[in-house]
Each structure stands twice: as C-alpha cells, then as structure tokens.
Amino acid sequence: MKNKIALASIILLLLVSCKNSHTTEQHTTAHQRSVEEQPTTTLIHLSAQQIQLADIAWETVETRHVSTTLPLTGELRIHPENRAVVSAPADGFLGDLKVRLNQSVRKGDLLATLRKPDLVDLQQQYLENRDRLAFLQIEFDRYRTLQNDEATAAKNFQKAEAELRAATTTDQLLAAKLRLYGIDAEQLSPANVRTELRIVAPLNGTVTAIHTSTGSAVQSGTPICEVADFSALHADLFVFEKDILKIKPGQKADIFLAGGAGKALQATVFSIDRVLDPAKNALRVHARLEAPAQPSLADGLYLDAKLALEAPVALPALPSHAIVREGLEEFILILENEKEGAATFEAVKVKSLGTTNGFTAFEPETPLPAHAKVVRRGAYFVWSQGKVEEFAEEEGH
C-alpha cells in the first residue's frame, strides 16, 4: 500500500514539473520572438586614424535637378518598311549579278540582269500593233469622212471603228506588260529592243543577303537579294505592362550596347505599339537614334537603355560613388555620432531614381533625420569596415 502511495506521488510531481517546464519554454520562446521582432540598428565605428587614412568625408545631402529613369532592355531593329526583298519579275536566267554582299546601293541602281527568252516576242507584238494602230486610225478617219458625205455604208465605218478600238486596247495592255518589266513603251523602237530585264534597287541601303548566283534559272518571285536602309535603324525598347502608362513620345533615352565601354547613344521615343509583342510579353517602344547609325551597328543587336520618364526635378542627390550597392540593394551611410575625430555611421537603405552628370537621386526607405550628414567620399571603405565588425561579432558568438 505504501509503495502505491509513493508511486502516485512521484507521478504527480513529474506532471507538475513537466507543466512548469513547458510554461517556462513558452515564456522563453515568446521572449526570443519579441526580441527578434524588435528592429536592430547596426552601427559602424571608425577611428580617427581610419577616417584620416581613408580620406572619409561627409556633408549634408544636397538637392539637384535629376531625371528619373526607367531601366529597359531592347534591340536595334530595321522594320519591314525600310527593307526590301528583291525578286525576279519573271521566269528566266540570271544573266549578271552587279552587286556584292554589304555593298551600299541607291534607289534605281542596277542590281542584276535577267534573260527572258520571250521578252523579244512581247516587244515585237507591241511594235507591230503600234504600226497597225496608226494604219487603223487613218482608215477610221477616212471612213468617218465618207460616212459624213454619205459615200459609204455605215457598216464599213462601224468595222473600222471596232478594229481601231481593239487595237487601242491591245496597245494599252502590251504597254502595261512592258512597264512591269521596266521597259518604257513610249521610248521603244526596233533599234533599242531589249533582250534582258534590268532589276534595280527599290530603295537606298545596303545589300544584306544574296540568294542566287549568275546563270541561275529563276521563276517569277524568286528572291535574288535583300536591301536594308540602315539610316532607319532604331531602338526597340521592351516595356512591361506595369510601366506602360509612364511612356509617351518625346521622352529621351540613353542606349548602351555590349562592348560600348559604357558610352551612351542618345535616342528619342517617336512611336509606341498598340499591341503587346507575344514573344516578349511586353510593349515595343520605338526610339530614333539622334546620331547617324554607325557602320558597326547591326540589325538585331541587344541593348540596355535608361529611359527618362519626366523633366528634371529637384531631388535629394549624392555623387554616384557615395551610394553603396550590394546585390540588388543600395545603401547610403549617415553620420550618427562624431567625437574626437572618431565617428559612428549607420547604413540606410535607399532606391536610386536616376543619374545626371555623375549625381544620383535617391529615395530613402525611412525618412532621414533633419540636417543628416551623409558620407560622400569613401563610402565603400566605411561599408567594408561594417562588414568586418559584423564578421567579428558573429565569430565572438
């Protein structure tokens, strides 16, 4: 009996102990959570010697007129209206190819000649019909005079009129066919009958592709070469739906190409598509290059751009090197305390809004104290010192 009472007492003590332990753990966990949720500010400490050796300098934030920009990607493009695929106008054999790849041509320049076996027959029909038309015109005039004098039957005049009308129609149709082949029917005579068709450039530009060679048999519509007008080369910028309402014609953009050593090309928005590009899931915004296209620029080149969204406005700004960038985040360093040459700094997260003449406008994540002083020179040194202190603190724990 005594053993049973002792066992019951032990079990009761264990239950009370577990409950107290659980309650203690809950209080401990709640305390840890409340501590973690409290915002902590990490300060960076520099001695007077460090500040002097690194030439650290700080001043109050100044206001500058800076344009806010939108980073975009895109490509250089020549649109279909500024390029041409030159095709054979009829069946035949390519007699001579007059151009080479990458050659500059002007509208009307001879690109190739096409030998068409029945071309001479067509010109012969036109010349013969033209001579017959002159004879029928004389006959028509004669019968009309006779009819007026009632010296001939009406059917003779009607027959002359019908033959003249048919010959006139044939003349016009044959002349239209000759024009399709680039032959001026009014200038055609037996002395200048052509045996080849001239294929000429339809626009100013550069030969970007050649599809056939001399002597090739071609059919009507067979591509011979391609010509593109590189003076119409412009930037197509891809704008996603969330930014569409920010775009309007006349905005300026800085265009950056790979291998351009950071040098920007100036461009101006002149057109905005009304339909999303399904391949990019973005709207194409067209920007005209302000300087003539350089020979090194090519259709399809990938580019980065910064589009100025509005006229320059007064914003808090710092020299671009005073904003520390780590990954996708940006920070500035404000002076927290200064004593006997030593100083304490605090990192504040910011968002860049645009850069003009080496100064970058920014928006702090939290409002800056009134008359706050910010590191303008040596920001990355101060930031690295903060990393050293952070590492040393982790090692200490």
Report the chain's terminal Cα–Cα distance, integer Å.
Answer: 54
70-80+230-308 and 85-227 share one CATH topology?
Answer: no
pLDDT at 80: 92
Beta strands in 201-340 (DSSP E): 205-210, 217-218, 223-228, 234-239, 252-257, 264-272, 283-289, 302-308, 313-319, 324-326, 329-339
Identify the pLDDT of residue 231.
Answer: 92
Q: How distant, in Å, are the alpha carbons of 17, 81, 115, 301 from that of 225?
A: 93, 16, 17, 22
Give the architecture-level CATH label for domain 85-227: Beta Barrel (2.40)
Query: Quick one: pLDDT at residue 159?
Result: 86
Ranges of residues in the chain with a pLDDT under 70 are: 1-41, 149-153, 260-262, 311, 394-397
Dihedrals φ, ψ of 138, to 5°? -65, -45
> Residue 152: its pLDDT value, please?
64
CATH of segment(s) 70-80+230-308 = 2.40.30.170
Domain-by-domain residue ranges, the chain?
1-35, 43-65+313-396, 70-80+230-308, 85-227
Q: What confidence score (pLDDT) does residue 358 get?
A: 85
| Position 102, amino acid | N
Output the pLDDT for position 149.
66
CATH assignment, 43-65+313-396:
2.40.420.20
Helices (H) and strands (E) in the chain, counts: 5, 23
